[in-house]
Structure 1
Amino acid sequence: MSQSFQHLDPVTLAQWLREGRTLQLIDIRDPLSFSQGHIPGSRHLDNTNVAELVEKTPGDTPLVVVCYHGHSSQQAAAWLAGQGFDEVYSLDGGFVDWSHRHPDHVAQ
């Protein structure tokens, strides 16, 4: 069985964002953390809106799942891949690492 999701390093994500590549950033941290800072263009995802995401997002849209440190995003990415999305990534290091590397690329 092939891996259902892929790991994505922050350097590659920054490059993709600079290139304007089509993707959907999915932030699964708690709402307060999300409101205090997230990667620009991120969509906050929780149990109340996950069904809508799965229903309304085309299956060929690349999804990048972001959590705090890159651990729980792996489980969420695997689950989303199981919902039929072709390209699902878990951001290695999570938002904590991203905000250290790219403090100028954080939205509130």
Structure 2
Amino acid sequence: MSNVEQVSVNEVPEGAFVLDVREDYEFEAGHVPGARHIPLGELPLQYSELDPDEDVYVICRTGGRSAQAALWLNAQGFTAINVAGGSGAWIDAGKEIVSENGQAPVIK
């Protein structure tokens, strides 16, 4: 298994396309504003909805699932970059998160 490019949460460009590969309940509880959500297990079925010409910054909770997803997307011809430390690092860096469930956003 080859290494996948990684960036810190502070290196994700403003307005970048962020793909969250966590489960539904995790995404609904709290996520990066504007992130596209496709759970890791559904990625092979839904990746065709993504733009292959746009860099994809892949995020999960701690960086494991997103690394798998980025590696797989790269094999499909995408430029996918893993967000090191995931959503936990995102919130630790003081970056905004939003929720889909009407409650205060949290990372699960």
Instruction: Sort the TM-score into its range (normalised by shorter chain).
Output: 0.7 to 0.9
TM (norm. structure 2) is 0.78
Residue 10 of structure 2 aligns with which residue? 11
Q: 1:56 to 1:34 in 2, by over 3 A?
A: closer
Structure 1's unaligned 5+ residue stretches are none
2:48 maps to a residue whose letter is: E
> Is 1:95 the equivalent of 2:93?
no
Cα distance in 2 between the residues matched to 1:43 and 1:11: 19
How many pairs align? 97
Deviation at 1:55, TM superposition (A): 1.9
Instruction: State yes or no: 1:42 paired with 2:41.
Output: no
- Report the Cα distance in structure 2 between the residues aligned to 1:50 and 1:65, rounded to whole angstroms: 14
Alignment partner, residue 97 of structure 2: 106
Whole-angstrom CA distance in 1 between matches of 2:63 and 2:50: 23
Residue identity over aligned pairs, in percent, reads 28
Q: Please tell me the residue identity of whatever aligns with 1:67.
A: C
Question: Which 4+ residue blocks in structure 1 deviate beyond 4 angstroms?
Answer: none
1:29 has 2:22 as partner: yes
TM-score, L = length of structure 1:
0.78
